[in-house]
Chain A
Amino acid sequence: MKKIVSGLMVMFALGQTAQASMEDDPLVTMFLMDRFEVLDNDENTRVWEGSFWIGYDINKLYLYSEGEATSDGLESSQNELVYSRAMAPFWDVQMGLAYDKSDDASKTWVEIAISGLAPYYFETRAALLVNGEGNVGLRLDAEYEALLTQKLILTPSLEADLYTKDDPDMHIGSGISNLEAGLRLRYEFIRELAPLYRYYMGKNIWKYT
């Protein structure tokens, strides 16, 4: 499965805190829409991938969401709400819940993750999930930003989802269930707004037993 699509990356702040005194650690909010695409098809498919966080230097609350929806209603998505705490200069430990949706089925997971900047500037996240049915999942993400110019940025990424059990309703198979390599090219008109061009190869390897 290969796809080439164009989209938009948007980064902006929501709301200013009223405080203006010289506090070293103000409340900061950040909304990052890595990807937002509206496909020109009959179902009017919308694809998104983004994150939102609110918090301070050390403690933050993160919301991650990615998925696909059509005009007929939501199709599939992965959503995570985690409390994030800085544990090392470049690393955060995160804990919370994940909520997956796939057509009419849904699953809730308990999640623990580490997220941060690895040496050589790899933006990395590894999440371990457990759900009520005893399925254990591992979701890995890594990406790298290569500056072609100061504003033209190429981002190769790698995503892998692994599970211990099959879950046909959720289109999940044991072992490596999903593998995706992507390449995003964006142009930052300003930091907050960058149209992007996206190329990715993915493989959904789930299978029924």
Chain B
Amino acid sequence: MRRRTFVKGVAVTSLLTLTATDAEARTRSKRINNRNILRGNEFFLDIDYTPVNITGKNAVATAINGQIPAPTLVWKEGETVTLHVTNHLKKTSSIHWHGIILPAGMDGVPGLSFDGIAPGETFTYTFKVRQHGTYWYHSHSGFQEQTGMYGAIIIQPKRKEPFAYDKDYVVLLSDWSDEKPETIYKKLKKMSHYYNFSRRTVGTFLDEVKEKGLANAFSDRKMWNQMRMNDRDLSDVTGYTYTFLMNGKNPATQFKALFNRGEKIRLRFVNASAMTFFDVRIPGLKMTVVAADGNHVKPLSIEEFRIGVAETYDVIVEPADHKAYAIFAQSIDRSGYAMGSFTPKTSMLAKAPAMDPKPVLTHTDMGMDMGQMDHGGGMKCGSGMMMSSKKDLEKDKYAKMESQRYPITQLPMKRGLQTTMKAVAPKYRLDDPGVGLRNNGRKVLTYADLKNRYSTRKAKKPDREIILHLTGNMERYMWSINGIKYADSKPLVFYYGERIRITFINDTMMNHPMHLHGMWSDLETGDDNHLVRKHTVIVQPGAKISYRVTVDARGAWAYHCHMLYHMAGMFRKVVVA
């Protein structure tokens, strides 16, 4: 696959320079307001079909103001923004402001917040901005997000931030396919491994036989075979159809971020892809994480982080050398990468490092007990740099999380044909960087490392708890919560003023980035005094995770997995009564 991606990228270079100018000229004549960054408190956004050429083939995108990504919107905390969104498509459209705290009617989810924006109509969103940081916006209608409807939001803080930097750049990651999203979805329904070209082969098995003998190799495979699960099933949709983009540029055309030596640069990473988790690093540079999902965290120096669909991370880097660094974002299944150059001059381009080996899921990712089940699967928790004493400490913290007792509200649960797997012994794995990043020799960010910059000691303790199982039938490509898909579900009822603890158990082998609209998710990472505030929380395969939500927003809200092709089933309506 690596060779293929490379070839695809190169073949496209010359073509793209041509078509990029072409498209620019075309859109410029059509619109006056074609700018990458829009500032102020009144915005005009137009959704329309837009011809693009991202892979060397002509395709039609649904774009905002003729751009992919859509323009970056810069707002100011405390101001009221007004956004006039006009839909020129033949279908209903919408824009959802991801992670923004606002009245339910402004949230932009058709069927829940409003009726959507009908063809030819303009909807005006207006709300007061009550937060700051890096966020993004995207369509919440059909699969429009996949075909180009996403952009970044930067909210400038009212008060000075507790860290300094000279410049900042948005680094927005996305996945583009020339195939229609409806086609992709139907292909997955017909053959869920359609896009997976990293499956186990006879050769893989023979290597294992050579390594550990026939009996061991066979017994290692036993559970996977009995459960009809695939340990190479990392991404439903892969680089086979996706071209991975950084700020709309492919690895051949390259996004370029300029720096002067000695400067501190803030990079605002946004994962705006439909289906792709990225592992991000800048070889040769350490990154200091200062914010997660827009909220300040205690600064933390790392070398790599995994960014789930819809998450954002702000990092500060200080390039020491006069050279081009690669901003390298490989997809979780290593079927391709997005890449840009962090460079002193646009003429100096970075070379892409080699991709890491393709990850293999372990029994841990299946929710089995790691102590007993993992025979040499290479599984160790943590980024591989943890001292054993620290590890014991972490264990204590999770024991504490495990022992928290709140009244549990029972929810309907079905174990019918919607589910093919059950995590038997799901564990809190906050210090687990996840499959493919374990013990890779680099300092990888984990959720356990994230600590709110400000104390949450005074935050109310949860009044009650609900447990949600993330479920799916991978063979039939159906996704659900508690074994019940959205179409068959009843809304979750939250009560205004309460603080609710939500525990997820992932009964599938996929990462699911869970996004609650309208309210913050205060993630338990082991330190109740510094609960980290997020809008999108990755639930690792076979794992368990808990967060707390202060129910302070009335209305109907969407609560769902942000993987675009999981979302229709793995979705709940939340009603705050």
Binding site for B on A (CB under 8 A): 11, 13, 16, 20-26, 28, 30, 57-58, 86-90, 117, 119-121, 146-151, 154, 191
Contact present for A16 and B182 (CB under 8 Å): yes
Nearest A residue to B479 via CB reads A24
Q: Does B128 contact A (CB under 8 A)?
A: no
- Interface pick from B64-72, B191-199, B342-350, B442-450: B191-199
Contact present for B189 and A147 (CB under 8 Å): no
Q: Does B404 contact A (CB under 8 A)?
A: no
B505 to chain A, nearest CB (A): 18
* Residues in B whose Cβ lies below 8 Å from that of A25: 478, 487, 568
* Residues in B whose Cβ lies below 8 Å from that of A191: 191, 194
Contact present for B473 and A26 (CB under 8 Å): no
- Report the separation of the CA atoms of residues A57 and B568 in the bound assembly, to the nearest whole angstrom: 13
Contact present for A150 and B202 (CB under 8 Å): no
- Give the interface SS of chain B, mostly helix, strand, loop or mixed: loop
- Report the separation of the CA atoms of residues A44 and B162 in the bound assembly, to the nearest whole angstrom: 82
- Report the separation of the CA atoms of residues A148 and B206 in the bound assembly, to the nearest whole angstrom: 11
Contact present for B202 and A146 (CB under 8 Å): yes
- Report the separation of the CA atoms of residues A148 and B198 in the bound assembly, to the nearest whole angstrom: 12
Contact present for A119 and B228 (CB under 8 Å): yes
Q: Does B183 contact A (CB under 8 A)?
A: yes
* Residues in B whose Cβ lies below 8 Å from that of A90: 228, 420, 475
B559 to chain A, nearest CB (A): 15
B330 to chain A, nearest CB (A): 19
Partner of B202, one of A21, A28, A120, A147: A147
Nearest A residue to B485 via CB reads A24
Nearest B residue to A24 via CB reads B568
Contact present for B228 and A57 (CB under 8 Å): no
Query: Known pairs A21-B91, A121-B225. 4 more at Cβ < 8 A?
Result: A22-B141, A22-B568, A30-B190, A89-B473
24 contacts between A and B (CB under 8 A): A13-B186, A13-B187, A16-B182, A16-B186, A20-B91, A22-B142, A22-B143, A22-B567, A22-B568, A24-B486, A24-B487, A25-B478, A25-B487, A88-B417, A89-B417, A89-B418, A89-B476, A117-B475, A119-B227, A149-B201, A150-B198, A150-B201, A151-B197, A191-B191
A42 to chain B, nearest CB (A): 39
- Report the separation of the CA atoms of residues A88 and B418 in the bound assembly, to the nearest whole angstrom: 9
Nearest B residue to A119 via CB reads B226
A188 to chain B, nearest CB (A): 10
Partner of B476, one of A26, A57, A119, A148: A57
* Residues in A whose Cβ lies below 8 Å from that of B142: 20-22
B411 to chain A, nearest CB (A): 20
Q: Does B419 contact A (CB under 8 A)?
A: yes
Contact present for A150 and B487 (CB under 8 Å): no
Contact present for A28 and B186 (CB under 8 Å): yes
Nearest A residue to B473 via CB reads A89
* Residues in A whose Cβ lies below 8 Å from that of B227: 119
Q: Knowing A119-B225, A120-B225, say if A16 contacts B183 (CB, 8 Å).
A: yes
Contact present for A86 and B417 (CB under 8 Å): yes
B477 to chain A, nearest CB (A): 8
Q: Does B460 contact A (CB under 8 A)?
A: no
Partner of B199, one of A13, A119, A147: A147
* Residues in B whose Cβ lies below 8 Å from that of A148: 201-203
- Report the separation of the CA atoms of residues A43 and B227 in the bound assembly, to the nearest whole angstrom: 47
B558 to chain A, nearest CB (A): 12
Contact present for A20 and B478 (CB under 8 Å): no
Nearest A residue to B140 via CB reads A22
Q: Does B127 contact A (CB under 8 A)?
A: no
B205 to chain A, nearest CB (A): 9
A17 to chain B, nearest CB (A): 8
- Report the separation of the CA atoms of residues A158 and B200 in the bound assembly, to the nearest whole angstrom: 23
Contact present for B190 and A13 (CB under 8 Å): yes
- Report the separation of the CA atoms of residues A23 and B486 in the bound assembly, to the nearest whole angstrom: 10
Partner of A120, one of B197, B226, B420: B226
- Report the separation of the CA atoms of residues A91 and B419 in the bound assembly, to the nearest whole angstrom: 12
* Residues in B whose Cβ lies below 8 Å from that of A28: 186, 189-190
Partner of B182, one of A20, A87, A154: A20
* Residues in B whose Cβ lies below 8 Å from that of A147: 199-202
Contact present for B185 and A87 (CB under 8 Å): no
Partner of B228, one of A58, A117, A151, A154: A117
Contact present for A89 and B487 (CB under 8 Å): no
Q: Does B108 contact A (CB under 8 A)?
A: no
Q: Does B513 contact A (CB under 8 A)?
A: no
* Residues in A whose Cβ lies below 8 Å from that of B197: 150-151
The 7 residue pairs across chains A and B that have the minimum distance between CB atoms: A24-B568, A147-B201, A24-B569, A120-B225, A150-B197, A119-B226, A89-B420
* Residues in B whose Cβ lies below 8 Å from that of A146: 202
B114 to chain A, nearest CB (A): 16
Contact present for B228 and A121 (CB under 8 Å): yes
A13 to chain B, nearest CB (A): 7
A26 to chain B, nearest CB (A): 6
* Residues in A whose Cβ lies below 8 Å from that of B202: 146-148, 154
* Residues in B whose Cβ lies below 8 Å from that of A86: 417, 476
B381 to chain A, nearest CB (A): 30
Contact present for A23 and B568 (CB under 8 Å): yes
B397 to chain A, nearest CB (A): 36
B119 to chain A, nearest CB (A): 13
